[in-house]
Amino acid sequence: MAIKDLETEKRNPNTMHIDTMSTLEMVKTINREDQKVAEAVGTQDAKIAKAIDLASANYRQGGRLIYIGAGTSGRLGVLDAAELVPTYGIKPERAIGLIAGGKGAMYVAVEGAEDSEELAQKDLRDLNLNKKDIVIGLAASGRTPYVIGGLNYASHVGAVTIAVACVKDSKIGQVAQVPIEAVVGPEVITGSTRMKAGTAQKMILNMISTGVMIRQGKVYQNVMIDVLPTNQKLVDRACRIVKAVTGVAKEKAEKILHQADKNVPLAIVMAKTGLPVAEAKKLLAGHHDSVSEVLKEK
């Protein structure tokens, strides 16, 4: 299919005269179009869930979340990787964003970089890609050579491969284990895929990475519990988390947190079960550090 015939490149009949609309009418029109995004993403629920399950299993074995893309798609991947580090306290090397053209392409387009399959293969080889890793290829058009090359190389290595596109029967979807295709329709501004397509990709990445972190035991109930209390403010936050999810008094939460060497998941298990440090630690280790799994048995 020619680029001009892709859904992401067609003209939107609802915005043909957006340039002559009042500002309020313009805003309302954009908002109406944005409302279609969540619906399009919703059609991919089963595939997103499959992506989370496959990625979670590999991540638990030490694999890395590696995002590859060009332009807006590449920037969204870099953003998702970067935000996981402070949000869930993971090591920076466990979530990596690759954008065609390198770091400079985050700010200035690097001409021709997205057209090279070999460049993506080199970028992944430089990371020593292995079969435990997870490669998420992002391309609104579903046909970016850089992403196709990266997914092909990842498949050859044996890594989990996930494709995120905004067209049906995408080329990147054909070379990935899990093809996610949220068809959001023509953009408000023709071809400006940083809009609806970008929003859809961001939503999908939010679900995948959040789901993977939940499956790693980083969340108990709906609270982020893998806090690293490196200063007094964070120690206080850790104490409040233990108190909130276990119902114990503040003084007891402080005492248990101290006994757990400021390890919040461990402190929660101790507070909920009454177990000493060693036994609680053993239980957590036997359940992939998932507080929820431990407490199901107690």
- Residues labelled catalytic: 83, 114
Distance (Å, rounded) from C-alpha 192 to C-alpha 199?
12
Structure tokens at 68: 């590859």
Structure tokens at 1: 């299919």
Residues sharing a CB contact under 8 Å with residue 27, sequence separation 6 or more, in sequence order? none
Q: Is 108 helix (H, G, I), strand (E, B) or coil?
A: coil
Alpha-carbon dihedral angle through residues 53, 54, 56, 59, given to the nearest 10 degrees: 180
CA distances from 115 to 7, 97, 110, 147, 172 (A): 20, 18, 11, 9, 14
Distance (Å, rounded) from C-alpha 167 to C-alpha 180?
9
Sole residue written with tokens 């929660």: 268
Q: How many helices, marked H, and strands, marked E, lie in the chain?
A: 12, 7
Distance (Å, rounded) from C-alpha 253 to C-alpha 264?
10
Q: Which of 102, 71, 85, 112 is nearest to 198 (CA)?
A: 71
Distance (Å, rounded) from C-alpha 288 to C-alpha 101?
37
- Are residues 40 and 182 in contact, defined by beta-carbon separation less than 8 angstroms? yes
